[in-house]
Structure 1
């Protein structure tokens, strides 16, 4: 758990502390602070936290709006790759497109005046693009339309609240941009050079050791390093020293 300038809930670093009830209790206490926070007013907030339901622990997203919990959404697919062993502490939700009643703890009920909220599988969709274009495109794919007509629907949670402005019907979702395509030579010069700089930045090293034999391999590598240096110097001249970090 952490107590910083902004309140955060638990992360993967809690590890075996997810076996302890205090971790779940403290997560609910953090959620209570978020529910009462003035900054969360009129904002649809999505908080990740562990939730115990019917003596089974789930890694969940708790979605609330104006001190009202709308949905608790458990993960259906757990991460067990690389450094993560999520199934060691959590179970995956197995009931597709189904919700159940979740009994809120008293610390939350006193704030929300809710006793039961839905927990389960639901589709959470957010977008900053034109949804009408998406509907038109999907409608052109007749096979998708036939499958959608026969598929079971998700439970819907009705909320009398709009995330968009009342006067945004005529606003453009994004401003038009002019795209400039690089030539093959420019891509060769910039792509590997940017990767070299990113590797150098992340590794914390001071430079590269390049043995030059005069062959095509070492000569090409030297040119890529030269291109990297040019990009760095041009960025510094343009005042982009933030790219150096």
Structure 2
């Protein structure tokens, strides 16, 4: 009898809790409700096809993050709900928990929310409790934080949703989801960075899976801080942490750098690309929830604190205890082989030189493809700053050609449209594409040297740009002549005995004329080539110059866009040396430019 029981125990299948979960990176566009919906649906299909039962999306994915004062308009929320209604009506939420971001107006206030969708129902609207209101962020201008921690209210769903799912109300507020086999909660972007981050409270209440839909912009060396916070959130308390971020330039000056990830018990198990041109990237991983429980119960301090907290169970219209996160995904047949949890992996962090090469490059591509422009025009002086901008455009072209070679039809279509290729053509190389997209112009004067003129021409040839060279002396002489006619006095450079005011005025007029000429060439160069559109003028003013005020108003600091406006001179010099190497951007002339002494070349040499 005992032997039979032992045999029975040996043959009993141990039911482990392994869930297949998904997070995604989306390149959304402010107020592009149709396009945002298409990209969201694509990520849902990809997650379902790969067996996921839960999919997390980025912050405000229905509207795009950077709607700014358009959040004041009622139809922004209305169209956002229409996107949600389309998701509910798509059939993709059947047996599949979907987590999307949207703005919600409730009782005279507007909240930044997460909508949890399951089986064509809205099961919860989780409102953001800590808003980002520093640096580039002004969320308090458009939203208010949910201040009733751990509490919900009843929200009346709009007519477009009621028509699809026949549901009248859903809870709104701060709550977790009680599933059949685990508790699932939310931490929304800025909440991760807050002193009293929700992940601690939620972990002590038994939440094992946390989703963070975020809108975090690129900043040099910021990813390391972000990953440290995400890993430390679960290293201390255990848990599965899914992070989803936006990608691209969605209508403002910021670039969202993606790098969505999945972390289990403080260790990274999946990481997306930080700089990529794909509109949709979906990460899927098998995660072991039993490992979370074991991790927590191995810490006596965690168990002592957890025993003092009651679990916040969601009381909503849909009974989620009938949904198991560890079930087979709706896109797969029943499994015969147990799922294997994803093993930890090392985080991939770019050097800051690589970040300069790829971050602004991806931002430029997003900007030009959505602006209607036919490319860029760069005043190339032969100095370090404009050389760095030219190298970034070269990096952009290399990225585009690489992605096209991988089979991305969306990027190929954009490259054909912007570069003026026919339907049967494609860029033959990065230099070929650069020749279509970038025009450089050396705007010299009597004060310019042959050395800078030669460096500019050589760099343009190495990147493949269309290069022009001209002199502005006739224009500046005409302006000085007008002044002399009106005032009866002719300003002189310091070298000719002029005062400091005269010297500065004559330097500044050269810098300003260069920008005026740059905008003229940017407007007309497509016409010269027989193409429609215009060129975006690229600036080349680094952050040190902006902080110190070392610039001329309406010179290169006043271009359409400036890819290096947030980068220091020291970092740019290091980037130039890095980009000159054979295994990077392969632009050897950049090493000479980095080593050359800086000079404005706006006045004659004294003595």
Are residues 1:131 and 2:131 paired? no
What secondary structure, in the 3-state scheme, does the structure 2 residue paired with 1:129 have? strand
Partner of 2:118: 65
Whole-angstrom CA distance in 1 between matches of 2:85 and 2:99: 13
Per-residue deviation at 1:138?
0.7
1:161 aligns with 2:319: no
Per the alignment, residue 109 of structure 2 pairs with 56
Are 2:393 and 1:225 equivalent residues in the alignment?
Answer: no
Runs ≥4 residues deviating over 6 A = none
Residue 174, structure 1, aligned to residue 342, structure 2: yes
Question: Aligned pair in 2 of structure 1 residues 96, 227: CA closer, same or farther (>3 Å)?
Answer: same
Say how many residue pairs are matched.
208
How far off its partner does 1:161 sit? Answer: 2.2
Q: CA deviation at 1:230?
A: 3.1
SS at match of 1:38: coil
1:197 to 2:354 alignment: yes
**2:311 pairs with 1:149:** no
Report the counterpart of residue 25 of structure 1 in structure 2: 78
> Which position in structure 1 is the counterpart of 2:87?
34
Task: Give TM-score, length-normalised by structure 2.
Answer: 0.31
Residue 97 of structure 1 contacts residue 155 of structure 1 at CA under 8 Å; is this kept in 2?
no
Query: How large is the RMSD of aligned CA atoms in angstroms?
Result: 3.1
Q: Please, which runs of 5 or more residues in structure 2 have no aligned partner?
A: 1-30, 41-60, 177-184, 186-208, 211-239, 241-285, 329-333, 362-388, 393-454, 456-573, 587-607
Query: How far has the Cα of 1:41 moved from its partner?
Result: 3.5
Instruction: Tell me the alpha carbon deviations over residues 6-35 of structure 1, each in whole angstroms, 9 at most, x when there is no partner.
Output: 166212322112222221111111111111
- Alpha carbons 2:91, 2:120 under 8 Å: kept: no
TM-score (norm: length of structure 1): 0.72
1:230-245 to structure 2, matched below 5 A, reads 230=583
Per the alignment, residue 100 of structure 2 pairs with 47
Indicate the residue corresponding to 1:114 in structure 2: 167
* Counterparts of 1:15 and 1:232, CA distance in 2: 36
**What is the aligned partner in structure 2 of residue 80 from structure 1?**
133
Unaligned runs of 5+ in 1: 180-190, 210-220, 234-245
Distance change in 2, residues 1:143/1:168 (3 Å): farther
Q: State the 1:175 CA deviation.
A: 5.4
| 2:215 corresponds to | none
Structure of higher RCO (CA pairs closer than 8 Å, 6+ residues apart)? 2
Provide closer, same or farther for how the CA distance between residues 84 and 176 of structure 1 changes in structure 2, counting only shifts above 3 A.
Answer: closer
